Amino acid sequence: METLRDKLAMERTKLANERTFLAYVRTSLSLIAGAAVLFQFFSASASYQAVGWALCVMGIVILLVGSYRFRSVRRSLRSERPS
């Protein structure tokens, strides 16, 4: 039998998973925004272009990793829930 304490703990865990995903999204968007700034203001320099592309790739990779981890934790939480 699932108690109120267990239900609330599960809800807190779900919310923590969502907050962690949002942190991944925020980090990803910050890296991509930094790359956009480099592209906009330092377009003449090849080294800044390379750093900008690296930031873009890192931002996309972080978003993909965050999405994967969010879905896997959510799936794990759903499978551990007693019926």
**Residues near 2 by Cβ (< 8 Å), separated by ≥ 6?**
82
Q: What is the identity of the amino acid at 12? A: R
58: in domain: yes
- Whether 82 has a pLDDT exceeding 60, the answer reads no
Q: What is the pLDDT of residues 33-81, one digit of tens each?
A: 999 999 999 988 899 999 999 999 999 999 999 999 999 999 999 987 6
- Whether 1 has a pLDDT exceeding 80, the answer reads no
- Whether 83 has a pLDDT exceeding 60, the answer reads no
Tokens representing 7 are 């239900």
* pTM assigned to the model: 0.86
Instruction: Based on DSSP, count helices (H) and strands (E) in the chain, helices before strands.
Output: 2, 0
Range of the domain at 16: 4-77
23: in domain: yes
83: in domain: no
29: in domain: yes
49: in domain: yes
CB count in 10 Å sphere of residue 66: 19
The pLDDT value recorded for residue 81 is 61
The domain tally of the chain equals: 1
68: in domain: yes
Tokens representing 34 are 């930094």
